[in-house]
Amino acid sequence: MMILGIVVFVLGLLFSIAWHELGHFTFAKLFGIRVPQFMVGFGPTVFSRKKGETEYGVKAIPMGGYIRMIGMFPPGEDGRISTRSTSPWRTMIEDARSASMEEIQPGDETRMMYTRKPWKRVIIMAAGPVQNLILAAVLFLTVLMGFGISQQTTTVSSVSQCVINQSENRDTCKTGDEPSPAAAAGLKAGDKIVSFDGVRTEKWDSLSDLIRASADKTVPIVVQRDGKEVTLQAKIAENQVAKKDSSGQIVQGEYVTAGFLGFSAATGIVQQDFGDSVTWMGDRVGEAADSIVALPGKIPALWDAAFDGGKREADSPMGVVGAARVGGEIFTLDIPPSQQLAMALMLVAGFNLSLFLFNMLPLLPLDGGHIAGALWESLRRNLAKLLRRPDPGPFDVAKLMPLAYVVAGVFICFTILVLIADVVNPVKIS
């Protein structure tokens, strides 16, 4: 089953890459740009076939993909495509310019990328990451609304026998502890709370908020027990309970004074409605963005995990190899097959969300870097028009290639570090 899970993830990865490149490809063709190649993967070509003017293929290393559009960079200031220089930085620039022009054919003069208006180039470059965002949203919605996710419910799992300050980190009652309101009211494991103080409660989050807001109040609680509704009376205690953030998540190590009933909620697989699903996805986007911002700060711990035997945290950066391993572990878990599939889809969805956010960073050679270049060109050309100055022409993104090589070098080093950690000290879910 481990192998099956890895295969499922790899297939999802390859589809995600092809789907990303299809976004670039579709709009490039729509705007009349010639695209000689559409490739999934890097390295040696495993399979390719030419159809029309484009060669479609799969390469050996499934670590990304690309489409080749002619004329990504404009000619130099002298109008020449390539000039030689003793400066290594200048050589990088001209090599990039030459590569973007190497497949120019007669009649391609009007089919080059740099000749398109900035807004068209923005659409072309943004289309790939947006495709990943769309795929992530579709997969998330499929799981949330179709399969459901594990979350706390309004069903009672266990009842606390006394009031314990949650900051004390204990679950055993001591002499002098007051009986919990739940125990005093006769709440039992298996009861499903259907209303609290006259308010219908279908979701744990809303029930929890009602309890927290009812300190020192005596409230009626209606529970479903053995197929019948039973009404209980409980005086809600005031207690130190875990703090929640704005999204309803527990803040570790922080506590507030609020109402306390004294029971543990059971967990179950719960299907989400569309509104809750959108809210859930919004929270994940925020968390993923925060994770990307926090990446540099996680490098020391990642280094320790890779070379010094340090603990590999659950939220540690993970590459394709690590994600494939997790995908394999999912199919070894002792859970229903439907939940295995749901978890695998969540993994692929999370991968696509990361691809979207990562590729939108305004750094070359990422898509976001090209978008930033096109936006800057639009700004300066419109400003020149407003000030009645000569048109400055296309912004020469090729001049930023030395910086792009530095960025690419950093990314490659980081990828190698993550790969080593994924092999010698992988993130595990079981």
d(CA 187, CA 221): 9
DSSP tag of 321: H
- Which residue is catalytic, options 21, 94, 329, 377? 21
Task: Tell me what pLDDT residue 235 has.
Answer: 93
423: CB partners within 8 A, 6+ apart:
321
Q: Note the pTM of the prediction, 2 decimals.
A: 0.83
d(CA 85, CA 91): 6
Task: Tell me what pLDDT residue 350 has.
Answer: 94
Cβ neighbours around 168 below 10 Å, total: 10
d(CA 297, CA 286): 18
Task: Tell me what pLDDT residue 88 has.
Answer: 47
Task: Tell me what pLDDT residue 192 has.
Answer: 94
d(CA 126, CA 306): 35
Burial of 237 by CB count in 10 Å (0-12 exposed, 13-18 middle, 19+ buried)?
buried
Label the pairing between strands 37-51 and 218-225.
Answer: unpaired
Please list the rounded mean pLDDT of every run of 10 residues in the chain (430 residues).
Answer: 88 93 95 91 90 91 86 65 41 56 73 89 95 97 93 92 84 85 93 93 90 92 92 91 78 86 90 91 91 90 89 86 90 89 94 94 89 92 90 80 84 91 85
Task: Tell me what pLDDT residue 99 has.
Answer: 61
Closest listed residue to residue 144, CA positions, set 18, 284, 248: 284
CA-to-CA dists, residue 97 to 55, 78, 102, 399, angstroms: 22, 13, 9, 9
Task: Tell me what pLDDT residue 413 has.
Answer: 92
Verify whether residue 21 is a known catalytic residue.
Answer: yes
